[in-house]
Chain A
Amino acid sequence: MKYLFTLVLSVSFVVTCFGQDNYDVDLIPSLLRNRANSCIRKEETTIDMRSPDNVMLYVKKAVTVFNENGEREAELVLYYDKNTAIKGIKGEVYNAVGMPVSKFTQNDFSDISAADGFSLFVDSRVKHYLPNVNQFPYTVVYSYEIRNKQSLIIPDWQPKPASDVSVEKSIYTFISKPSDQVRIKASNYPGVPEVTVDEKQKKMVWNVSSLPAVKTEPYSPDPETYFTSIKIAPEHFTYYNHKGSYTNWQDLGKWVYEDLLKDRTALSPATIQTIKELVKDEKTDKEKSKKIYQYLQNRTRYISVQIGIGGFQPVSASEVDRLGYGDCKALVNYMQSLLKAADIESYYCVVEAGSQKKSVDPGFASMVQGNHIILCLPLKGDTTWLECTSQKIPFGFLSDFTDDRLVLACTAEGGKLLRTPKLTTQENRQFRNARLIISADGNVTGSMNTVFSGAQYDNHEAMIGKSVSEQHKMLKASYNVDNIDIKSVSFAQKKDIAPEFTENIDIDIPNYVPVNGKKMFLQPNVFNTMRSIPELRNRTLPVYINRGYTDEDTIVYTLPDNVDTDLITTNERVLSSVFGSYISKASVAGNQLTYYRKIVLNDGTFPAEKYAEFSKFMSDVNATDFLKLALSLK
């Protein structure tokens, strides 16, 4: 699906290089070398809010890159648009012993459009530079300066950007007028900033030093929960000739509504009439909405159009009506306008989209949170949510792209935080029944029926509408079994708030059960095996499972006559832990061998010391999934 906003974070630039510093790699303490692919030797970020339309950002940074995996930190990427001016970039590259080897300036940067994929996108651009060094380690030192003609978005500070980066020293300074009101959110920062105030300015300084790199740990929570960061939001702001003030979500939502949305909803009388006509026979608002949603899906498609106020303002509804396309803001705004024509109320909601759940921070309102827009219909208590950029998704279903998180609804009464519905472990279901016949020479043929629902619905919906050859290719990729051939495919969809996707396929798998002497070897779990996860020692972070699911597979094999079924004993394994449960059972009745597997994986956050148990559970499931039966032949 589609993200709306690009990073509008303007970053700032170099003033002077730290010429006097010594960048000999040997000077880095061993504590900061261990596990580090790169080390931030020194970083100074200074923000000087001279006036709401003149916020200076100065950055000076020195990074040592130890190996290829660390190059990400040497890359300098600067987004900019009409609201920002990059004043000067300069830098130097030093070799391992700290001798300068090359210099670079703004001219060495590639300047490319920030558009990704097909996007009608004109405003935002990105400057990009990666020192071309083939010899590790090296150190890149640079500085730049950016003038922001706005104060809505203030660059925040996260001194340690990733686990594999160590930090020798990082300093963040915020300068404002003593009278300026700002809100500050400090996360995982020990202590308080140094504050100095005189008549002209108030200066706040945060700093960290000697942060070692740590091992990356899978199934970790959002890094924001354990990395240090400082975020700043001024109360009064200027943005693209708009002015406003906010101290909470209520105010910010109000501003978005009043300044960016309110006048974008007008539709032509003809369209209003079409809508009234369309819903005249529907009795409830929900049925009407459903009709209108269908109208939207048939008439529009998603095209990213990144223009207008920093990517925050939708194209007008009448424009979308004429063109038949728009981005998420435009399509939500259009849908909202269509609903209004039928006198149905709805809210324009800002959400941080992505499979990884992320809520807007209830305690700290700011404009940088959220990257997508969805629509909420209160419907007198029967709250319904709409994703407006997909032409396939069922009415009322948000998918795992935006489920279970706090979003900001921008309404006439101001901003409200609402939570989108959660797709639960029980709902995220895969339910499979297969009947397969094994021939005496080990070929397998049969049919399989699988029903996917909840978050698992999404993974398969994409197959609808694809050509037969593409469907076969996709199925072969998901059921990657040697020799598998898909004989026929049919799909069915239950398109409602709890959608289901049914896949019926007929398959042949020649030689799936190879015969070796007087035995046949059968791995009964053909299609659904679990991967194991690393077994880390000394886990430090909590275990976070983003979303749970339930899979239930039953495969009934008809065995060939030459298999001696008397020799088959029932094979059963049951596992249970706080993370979920698992059953695997193979049993025989007559010439039918039934394989049954059920796994339930729970979502949630668990203490770090539980990781070993989690890893054991997953690895036991993995081992059991590969169970092989040696069938004796008569």
Chain B
Amino acid sequence: MNKIFLVLIVLLTTSMAIRAQDFTFGAITYADYEFDKKTLDSNANAVVLKEFGTASIQLDESTGHLELVFVHHVKIKIYNKEGFKEANIIIPMSKDDNQEETISELKASTFNLDGGRFVETLMDKKAVFTENRSKYTRLTKFTLPNLKEGSVIEYSYRLRSPGLFNFKTWEFQADIPKVISEYLVYIPGIYTYNVSLRGYQKLTDQKVELNKECLRLSGVAIDCSKISYVMKDIPAFIEEDNMTAPSNFKSAIYFELAEVQSLSGGKTSYTKSWKDVDYELVSDKNLGGQMKRKDVFKDLLPAIIKDAPDDLAKAKAIYNYIKKQIKWNNYYGKYTEDNIKKALDFRSGNVADVNLSLIAALSAANLDAEAVILSTRENGTVNKLYPVLSDFNYVVAKVNIGETSYLLDATEPLMPFGLLPLRCINDQGRVINIKKPSYWLDLKASQKSSTNYILTGKLTQEGKIVGTLVTHSLGYAAYNKRRDILKYSSPDEYVEKLDDRLTRIRISDHQITGLDSVENALTETYQVEFSINDGLKDQFYFSPFFINSISKNPFNLNERTYPVDLGAASDERVIINVSIADQYEMLEKPKNMAIALPNAGGKYLVQCDFDGNTLSMSQILQFNNAIYQPDDYFALKEFYSKIIQNQKSEILLKKVKK
């Protein structure tokens, strides 16, 4: 799982001399040029030989404001043409209406060995482009000139940033390996930052020392702690299938401002304890303030819950009402855009508008409702060591009825009561209660994703199976299918496309029920017809695995570094009953099989029987976990492989001579 190490920053007075200093630009050596990538990664197309960053807080004399100054210097060896893309550099700079980050002192050079000497080709300033990517981002882009296989490239720049809150994140890991990456930060004594290291790689070295009078404010000299973080021999970061946000795994060091001390001695806290955060959230007019607005629903409630006999029925009625009444506008957020009254009037709002309305309405019905703030899957996991509010980008409702709690998100009309959309299933969320202290809660799918296929039919003399295929879907399987169907103008068109796609199967008639009643299974009934051979012979083979057969192994690689995240547990069953007019005997059949993943992680069962004129087959494929550790990868691979092997065998039937 995601590892976050707390790196203690203490203002140390001990002095361990930090020798860290930036390397000289342009001092290319033969050791650089001939660096043997095999010592690090023989597959690398390019390697960062050296990287040095410095960040400090300085006073901008012209404006009188403090700013963050970051200097980045990199030297890269390019081995081949595949590595040329490492010479295309993009530096993002954030901006808003009032201020922006700026870059200066940009220099870049390519070094090639020519006749025993290193020849430097300087990048022309004209070759640097600044692009306004969007309202909030500008990009500085450049590429290095005269690039050859074997070139060493080097560049450095200074970035000035008006934002001090996140100091400057440093990514140790990139898409190419690094020999050494070193980050030196100067943090003035009046600033306290929480620092966290994410990812799987460990620091090689970390040193802290006191740096006297690094900053002068209003005539007062301020000391800094000078900290150096060093990581050596860092492997490339390579994304894998079935993984959550890369930021959860990429080794990098993050900062968040905790406290600033003013020169007069007063303190301003930024990152606080959960106790402080609880108070802040509960009293925030766009979060806690909205949860409390029972008044909004007072007059509406009697009509909404009039037919509800108990608390659970009331909760469901309110959930359905909010789903119908306030349409999600596709924006995330833990704070309302305005207030829930307005969202209800306009019938539209962001995630917080929708779900805080739900909480207020549940509370108005005297149900015990709380808010759960969380981070969506693509947003990464949240820091658990101390509250980092900016990590949370979403809020859902939790309603407690008797001993049972239900997590509710009313933004997705196709989600059943108690099941969160997959985007919310991401480690843990924090439960915010108006009256009690907050606490962590596991975010897990409350239902398995489940699909049942039942085929009942007969095998005709022409070698065709004609029958009825009924499919029941629940959980995410049902959600995904409902979404799919609704992408078409009508269920008929969906089925027509399906029929086109299933080239061997002809769907002659269909019925889809439960499309709108999301609390129940989605049921599809298809009259199907497909050939297994050109006409029944006295003896013939055929495969009983014609429904959702597995022929490809989704875990076919030889290594795995990060956990496999499937989102939710799943369950798929297939039941087949096919009758044959004449008497046959079964000479061969696929082995009956029952295999399991370690630690009850999942199982596969298959059983095939024949009673003279009816063939029956039942099959169960279950995955009990949402997340499997990298070590489980090979068990998953083997598990699938066994299924695939089994599904290759066929049934051999022979006509019984009368």
Contacting pair A483 B556 (CB below 8 A): yes
B122-177 residues at the A interface, CB under 8 angstroms: 124, 127, 129, 131-135, 139, 141-143, 145-148
1/0 per position for A95-116, CB-CB distance to B under 8 A? 0000001000000001111010
Residue of A nearest to B347 (CB): A101
B489 close to chain A: CB less than 8 A? yes
A134-B329 contact given A66-B489, A67-B487, A473-B557, CB 8 Å threshold: yes
A503 close to chain B: CB less than 8 A? no
A191 close to chain B: CB less than 8 A? no
- Give the residue among B143, B501, B590, B641 with the most A Cβ atoms within 10 A: B143
B72-125 residues at the A interface, CB under 8 angstroms: 80-82, 84-85, 88, 90, 124
Task: Give the residues in chain A near B556, CB-CB below 8 Å.
Answer: 476, 480, 482-484
Assembled-state Cα–Cα distance A134/B652 (Å)? 52
B579 close to chain A: CB less than 8 A? no
Residue of A nearest to B649 (CB): A516
A532 close to chain B: CB less than 8 A? yes
- Give the residue among B145, B487, B501, B552 with the most A Cβ atoms within 10 A: B487
B323-338 residues at the A interface, CB under 8 angstroms: 327-331
B558 close to chain A: CB less than 8 A? yes
Task: Give the residues in chain B near A120, CB-CB below 8 Å.
Answer: 127, 129, 141-143
A323-B489 contact given A132-B329, A514-B645, CB 8 Å threshold: no
Contacting pair B43 A470 (CB below 8 A): yes
A303 close to chain B: CB less than 8 A? yes
Contacting pair A622 B487 (CB below 8 A): no
Residue of A nearest to B330 (CB): A132
A468 to chain B, nearest CB (A): 6
B572-606 residues at the A interface, CB under 8 angstroms: 588, 590-591
A535-B487 contact given A134-B330, A303-B88, A466-B82, CB 8 Å threshold: no
Contacting pair B503 A535 (CB below 8 A): yes
Assembled-state Cα–Cα distance A119/B348 (Å)? 39
Contacting pair A465 B145 (CB below 8 A): no
1/0 per position for A143-167, CB-CB distance to B under 8 A? 0000000000000000000000000
A113-B132 contact given A67-B487, A476-B556, A511-B645, CB 8 Å threshold: yes
Assembled-state Cα–Cα distance A534/B502 (Å)? 8
B500 close to chain A: CB less than 8 A? yes
A179 close to chain B: CB less than 8 A? no
B493 close to chain A: CB less than 8 A? yes
B650 close to chain A: CB less than 8 A? yes
A478 close to chain B: CB less than 8 A? no
Residue of B nearest to A38 (CB): B489
Task: Give the residues in chain B near A523, CB-CB below 8 Å.
Answer: 648
A323-B43 contact given A476-B556, A482-B644, A535-B503, CB 8 Å threshold: no
A33 close to chain B: CB less than 8 A? yes
- Give the residue among A34, A120, A466, A480 with the most B Cβ atoms within 10 A: A120
Contacting pair B500 A483 (CB below 8 A): no
Task: Give the residues in chain B near A121, CB-CB below 8 Å.
Answer: 129, 131
A533 close to chain B: CB less than 8 A? yes
B367 close to chain A: CB less than 8 A? no
A110-B134 contact given A324-B146, A467-B43, CB 8 Å threshold: yes
A519-B141 contact given A391-B81, A480-B552, A484-B556, CB 8 Å threshold: no
B640 close to chain A: CB less than 8 A? yes
Task: Give the residues in chain B near A113, CB-CB below 8 Å.
Answer: 131-133, 139
Contacting pair A323 B145 (CB below 8 A): yes
Contacting pair A465 B541 (CB below 8 A): no
22 A-B contacts (beta carbon < 8 Å)? A35-B493, A67-B486, A68-B486, A101-B348, A122-B129, A134-B330, A298-B148, A301-B84, A322-B145, A323-B124, A323-B145, A465-B80, A469-B43, A482-B551, A482-B553, A482-B644, A514-B645, A519-B652, A534-B503, A619-B504, A623-B504, A630-B652
Interface contacts beyond A122-B129, A483-B556, A517-B588: sample of 16 additional A-B pairs, CB < 8 Å, sorted by A:
A33-B489, A111-B134, A112-B134, A118-B90, A120-B127, A120-B143, A323-B127, A325-B143, A468-B43, A469-B43, A482-B640, A484-B556, A485-B558, A532-B504, A630-B541, A630-B588
